[in-house]
Amino acid sequence: MSEPIVRLRGVRKTFWRDREPVPVLDGLDLDVPEGSFEALMGPSGSGKTTLLNLIAGLDRPTEGSIEVAGQPIHQLPEGALARWRSETIGFVFQSYNLLPVLTAQQNVELPLLLRRLPRAERRKRAETALRIVGLEDRTQHFPRQLSGGQEQRVTIARAIVNDPKILVADEPTGNLDKGSTKDVLDLLARLNKELGKTILMVTHDPHAAERATIIRKLDKGQLA
């Protein structure tokens, strides 16, 4: 495998609840090779979401360095970090988080608004992304007119429309039934294999984890 695309060194994250420190991550080192499909497991409250947020540039470590795709993000200013996220990271959430007032296609188009692209081009890319997730016949549906599995596939389309290097998925199948879970996992595996996306997925489901190339376990602030 080539250079790691994600490199964490001595990452510590401490939350404060009232005056009391809540240490979550305790001097973590992590290397994620480019093109891998990783599953992150661990008991509830162990810090999986926290770790994912740090890697995705949503949150900042209390201590330590985070380098993603060659960029040390722990020291990027807010504005630059936002732009970096839009170019590098695709997000898949457990509860989809689609904007209910926009159609599937408009939701997928959202991240493209941050780029100077002609309207027609944005549309084409959104359609392509929806085709990749197999929803080309649902482009004009609103989220509430879709099933949970379909909603999650729209979210995935939104995550890949900017062609990011990394997808982060926090319990992407947590709200789905068996059939839909399989669809979504198949899709992620295909994106990993065919498009070479690095995928970081948090899951509680051992079957889901088995689809990944690497499984990591987080416990008591340390990776096992």
Judged by beta carbon, residue 17 or residue 119, the one nearer ligand ATP is 17
Pairing of strands 198-202, 214-219: unpaired
**Binding partner of residue 86 among another protein, ligand ATP, Mg ion, none, CB under 5 to 8 Å per kind?**
another protein
Judged by beta carbon, residue 49 or residue 162, the one nearer Mg ion is 49
Output the six-digit token pair for 221: 């602030």
DSSP string, 167-184: EEEESTTTT--HHHHHHH
Which residue, among 68, 96, 32, has the nearest Cα to 164 in the 3D structure? 68
* Dist CA 114 CA 87 (whole Å): 9
**Binding partner of residue 100 among ligand ATP, another protein, Mg ion, none, CB under 5 to 8 Å per kind?**
another protein
Total residue count of the chain as it appears in this document: 224
Q: Tell whether residue 14 is a contact of another protein (CB under 8 A).
A: no
Q: Tell whether residue 49 is a contact of ligand ATP (CB under 6 A).
A: yes
Q: How far is the CB of 64 from ligand ATP (least distance, A)?
A: 16
Q: Report the residue from 1, 22, 99, 214 that binds another protein according to the rule CB under 8 A.
A: 99
- Which residues within the stretch 142-181 sit at the binding site for another protein (CB under 8 A)? 158, 162
* Dist CA 126 CA 45 (whole Å): 36
Stretch that binds another protein, among 26-34, 51-59, 66-74, 202-210 (CB under 8 A): 51-59
Answer for the pair 149, 131: CB distance below 8 angstroms, yes or no.
Answer: no
Judged by beta carbon, residue 93 or residue 142, the one nearer ligand ATP is 93
Q: Tell whether residue 45 is a contact of ligand ATP (CB under 6 A).
A: yes
Per-residue CA distances from 53 to 49, 122, 194 (Å): 6, 27, 26
Q: Tell whether residue 17 is a contact of ligand ATP (CB under 6 A).
A: yes
Stretch that binds another protein, among 31-39, 94-102, 127-135, 182-190 (CB under 8 A): 94-102
CA 79, 81, 87, 93 dihedral sign is negative
Q: Tell whether residue 125 is a contact of another protein (CB under 8 A).
A: no
Q: Report the residue from 49, 88, 103, 150 that binds Mg ion according to the rule CB under 5 A.
A: 49
Which residue, among 167, 162, 217, 163, has the nearest Cα to 192 in the 3D structure? 167
Answer for the pair 100, 83: CB distance below 8 angstroms, yes or no.
Answer: no
Residues at the contact surface with another protein, assessed by CB under 8 A = 49, 53, 56, 58-59, 78-79, 82-87, 91, 93-95, 97, 99-102, 106, 109-111, 113-114, 119, 122, 158, 162
